[in-house]
C-alpha cells in the first residue's frame, strides 16, 4: 500500500515527525508515496490538519492521528500511532464515505467537509439572515450568523453554537443560528437533499445589511452584501475517512465529549 503523510508544518518537530512516520511505515512494508500516488493519507495533527488533508488529497482516504486538542476527527491518539500503521499494513480498516457541502455565490464555489459558516464581520450589530429551503422561507434570524453542518461537522463549530450531534451515517444537515436574539429560536435538522439559500437583509430601521463573511471549513471564500445570497447544498464529491477495525462512533463521541461511562 502506498501511504502519504500530511503533517502540520507549523508545529514543532514537523519535519522530524514526517521522517519518523516514514521510517515506521517502511518497517511495516508500506510504501511512502508522493501526493499523486497515495492510496491512503495519514494526517498527524488536530482536526484542522485533517480537514486540510481532505482538501489537499481529494478522493483519497484519510486517517487522522491526533496531536491537537479535542481532535474529534482524529480517532487515533498519539500512543497508538504505531498500532494504527500496523493495522493499515494488515488491511484492518474500512473507508467511510462522508457527505460534503458546496457553497455557491454566482460562479464562485467551495467545498466543506465540516461546515459552512456565514457570520457578521467586524461590527457590533446583529445580522438579519433569511433562510430558504428549496425556495420556501424556513427562518429569519437576527443573529451573529448561522452554521450549516454535515453529520461529520456536527461536533465542531455547530456543536459549540448549540447544534445537535448527528451520527456519521445520517442523511441530513443541521442549521444552527449563532447567538440569536430570540429565546424561541432553535437549531433545525433538514434533509441533505435540500437546497438552502441564506440571504443578508436590511434591518427594520433601514440600516444597511451587515457585511457577512462566508467560510468553508474555516477558510474565507467570499463576502455577502445587502440582499446577496449564498446557496448551500450537498456536494457531488465525497470525503473518505479511514476507520480502523473496532472503530465505534458512539464510543468516540462519548470519549471526546467527556460523557460519563
Distances (CA, A) of 78 to 21, 43, 89, 187, 200: 12, 12, 18, 35, 44
Spatial CB neighbours of 250, under 8 Å, sequence gap ≥ 6: 167
Q: Is 208 exposed, middle or buried (0-12, 13-18, 19+ CB in 10 A)?
A: exposed
C-alpha cell recorded at residue 158:
455547530
CB 46 within 8 A of CB 71: yes
d(CA 220, CA 208): 22
d(CA 72, CA 52): 15
Measured at the CA of 113, the angle between CA 73 and CA 261, to 5 degrees, comes to 30
d(CA 60, CA 244): 16
d(CA 8, CA 10): 5
47 is catalytic: yes
The active-site residue, picked from 47, 115, 144, 217, is: 47
d(CA 255, CA 75): 10
Task: Please give the positions annotated as active site.
Answer: 47
Amino acid at each position: 500500500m502506498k501511504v502519504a503523510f500530511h503533517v502540520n508544518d507549523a508545529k514543532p518537530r514537523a519535519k522530524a515527525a514526517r521522517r519518523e512516520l516514514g521510517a515506521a511505515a517502511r518497517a511495516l512494508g508500506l510504501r511512502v508515496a508522493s501526493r499523486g500516488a497515495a492510496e491512503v493519507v495519514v494526517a498527524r495533527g488536530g482536526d484542522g490538519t485533517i480537514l486540510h488533508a481532505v482538501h489537499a488529497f481529494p478522493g483519497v482516504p484519510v486517517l487522522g492521528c491526533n496531536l491537537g486538542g479535542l481532535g474529534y476527527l482524529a480517532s487515533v491518539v498519539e500512543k497508538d500511532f504505531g498500532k494504527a500503521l500496523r493495522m493499515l499494513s494488515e488491511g484492518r480498516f474500512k473507508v467511510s464515505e462522508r457527505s460534503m457541502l458546496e457553497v455557491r455565490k454566482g460562479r464562485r464555489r467551495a467545498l466543506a467537509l465540516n461546515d459552512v459558516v456565514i457570520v457578521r464581520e467586524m461590527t457590533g450589530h446583529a445580522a438579519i439572515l433569511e433562510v430558504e429551503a428549496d425556495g420556501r422561507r424556513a427562518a429569519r434570524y437576527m443573529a451573529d450568523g448561522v452554521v450549516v453542518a454535515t453529520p461529520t461537522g456536527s461536533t465542531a463549530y455547530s456543536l459549540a453554537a448549540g447544534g445537535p450531534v448527528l451520527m456519521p451515517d445520517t442523511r441530513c444537515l443541521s442549521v444552527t443560528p449563532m447567538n440569536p436574539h430570540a429565546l424561541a429560536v432553535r437549531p433545525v435538522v433538514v434533509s441533505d437533499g435540500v437546497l438552502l439559500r441564506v440571504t443578508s437583509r436590511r434591518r427594520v430601521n433601514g440600516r444597511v445589511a451587515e457585511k457577512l463573511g462566508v467560510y468553508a471549513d474555516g477558510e474565507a471564500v467570499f463576502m455577502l452584501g445587502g440582499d446577496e445570497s449564498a446557496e448551500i447544498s450537498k456536494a457531488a464529491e465525497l470525503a473518505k475517512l479511514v476507520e480502523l477495525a473496532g472503530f465505534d462512533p458512539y464510543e468516540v463521541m462519548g470519549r471526546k465529549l467527556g460523557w460519563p461511562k
